[in-house]
Amino acid sequence: GAGVSQSPSNKVTEKGKDVELRCDPISGHTALYWYRQRLGQGLEFLIYFQGNSAPDKSGLPSDRFSAERTGGSVSTLTIQRTQQEDSAVYLCASSLVGPDTQYFGPGTRLTVL
Amino acid sequence: DAKTTQPPSMDCAEGRAANLPCNHSTISGNEYVYWYRQIHSQGPQYIIHGLKNNETNEMASLIITEDRKSSTLILPHATLRDTAVYYCIVRVHYQFYFGTGTSLTVIP
């Protein structure tokens, strides 16, 4: 079946602009995660959704970052007033339930000029 | 806050077994060990996971020590396509704790 998909695959933006990153999880997966991966680094947890609610937002780096999930499916990660340090690959993953194997999408590479 | 320690890099000859070690000395009794790999510019790919017992699937074997403080991922016959960064992860409930991984290079 279809895996996790993310769009766009690449995004170049200017400092100060807002960006939206989209994630389509595997159909039927109730849990969804966002991670950030800076160049040459491991994955950094951002937020976890169970259904449409986000019981854990502890990884969001600042109030410029927000995320929502609608219909228990698609999720959008929004970064407002982007900064150069926001440049990274943003990865989305989903799992059938919360404590379970996570399946990752290909990521969105964000470059802030 | 990584809960695992891995060597930063390893080489392995093509066709030989690749043994990737991982230390997770602070792991608790109900926390799983997962292994993923990431090939350049792709999302992490699930390999295998375990709690206490050794596990094997079509990709790899996972050997967990009896005290659960360390584990080893074994790729039985490494190919050039196995060149990737391998992450050993401790899962605490829904939370995956990624370290910096081991960069495995399979040499022809």
Is a pLDDT exceeding 70 seen at residue A1?
A: no
Lowest mean pLDDT among A80-89, B49-58, B94-103: B94-103
Chain A residues closer than 8 Å to B49 by CB: 101
The one-letter amino acid code at B29 reads G
CA B77, B83, B86 angle in degrees (round to 5)? 95
pLDDT tens, residue by residue, B18-33: 999 999 998 988 899 9
A99: which DSSP letter? S
How many whole angstroms separate alpha carbon B31 and alpha carbon A82? Answer: 36
Chain B residues closer than 8 Å to A99 by CB: 91, 93-94
pLDDT of residue A95: 94
pLDDT of residue A41: 85
Is a pLDDT exceeding 90 seen at residue B68?
A: yes
pLDDT averaged over every residue in chain B: 93
Give B6→chain A minimum CA distance, Å.
12
Whether B96 and A102 lie within 8 Å, measured CB to CB: yes
SS3 assignment, position A5: strand
pLDDT of residue B100: 86
Whether B42 and A106 lie within 8 Å, measured CB to CB: yes
- Please, what is the end-to-end C-alpha distance for chain A in angstroms? 37
Interface of A to B at Cβ within 8 Å reads 4, 31, 33, 35, 41-45, 48, 50, 56, 91, 93, 95, 98-107
B20-55 burial by CB neighbour count: b if 16+ within 10 A, else e? Answer: bebbbeebeeebbbbbbbbeeeebbebbbbbeeeeb
What confidence tier does A55 reach under pLDDT thresholds 50, 70, 90?
confident
Q: Percentage of chain B with pLDDT > 90?
A: 81
What confidence tier does B41 reach under pLDDT thresholds 50, 70, 90?
confident
Q: Cα torsion at B40, A86, A7, A34 (round to 10°)?
A: 80
How many whole angstroms separate alpha carbon B106 and alpha carbon B108? Answer: 7
pLDDT averaged over every residue in chain A: 94
Averaged pLDDT for residues B51-63: 95
What confidence tier does A72 reach under pLDDT thresholds 50, 70, 90?
confident
How many whole angstroms separate alpha carbon B3 and alpha carbon A103? Answer: 20
SS3 assignment, position B81: helix
CA-based nearest residue in chain B for residue A40 = B100
Nearest to B50 by CA among B32, B36, B77, B72: B32
Averaged pLDDT for residues B64-77: 96
Sign of the dihedral through C-alpha B51, B57, B59, B64: positive
Is a pLDDT exceeding 80 seen at residue B2?
A: no
Chain A residues closer than 8 Å to B98 by CB: 35, 42-45
Mutant choice from A53, A56, A96, A101 vs B, greatest count of B C-beta within 10 A = A101
pLDDT of residue B92: 85
